[in-house]
Structure 1
């Protein structure tokens, strides 16, 4: 691993404003670890060597929390795959590879029911490996 990829980034996404949550919701979202490139986008090359460390934690109000991995699917799209009690479908990010993961940016994730939700990046933190 070269010097540019000696760390991962812990990213927290929280539900953006919706009809049901006009102010958004800090109780609904994802916290995950991923390698980012110099532009703050997911780094597919670096991910290959650290994918076992790219964990995701889904929190959704009073629902049980889910733990899984950030995965790269055939064709190059990204998703959250829940491998602990993994009876759920993957949750696919909408063009996650094209988005910058910087505070204040917005990204969308399609949940296991097929509903698309928009999230705001509320924090990023370097994680040394």
Structure 2
């Protein structure tokens, strides 16, 4: 039987906002997360294998920061970075988000502000193989 989800690489790029009227393609996150066939985070798969869910923060002029996706008992999601004390993460109902091109994800940055990021790419993670299709909406 084919599993209901597999890991995808999801690229988030800073969307247009007051401080960045054109957005910024060199400021964002790459996530490797399990998605269901309808493009939502597969929480059951994450619970079974949380360390397979990676995050890479990239910003112009800064070294990349890597880590993984964590969830607190209260249900709040955040990015846990290796050797960093940054507190960042999705701000609202991350497991209910639709991970498809053009959708937006709100992320609470380490400065406490919430920024909008546009999903610019969704494709099977390299370690998962598969074709170049993304989960359908």
TM value normalised by structure 2: 0.84
Equivalences, count = 126
Following superposition, the deviation at residue 102 of structure 1 comes to 0.3
After superposition, give the CA deviation of every residue in 1:56-80 in whole Å (9 maximum; x if it has no partner).
Answer: 0001221222111011221222211
Please report the RMSD computed on the Cα atoms of aligned residues, expressed in angstroms. 1.7
Q: Secondary structure at the match of 1:47?
A: helix
Assess if the C-alpha contact under 8 Å between 1:9 and 1:36 holds in 2. Answer: yes
CA distance in 1, matches of 2:55, 2:98: 18
Assess if the C-alpha contact under 8 Å between 1:77 and 1:97 holds in 2. Answer: no
Unaligned runs of 5+ in 1: none
Unaligned runs of 5+ in 2: 130-137
2:101 is aligned to 103
1:88 is aligned to 86
1:3 is aligned to 3
CA distance in 2, matches of 1:87, 1:78: 15
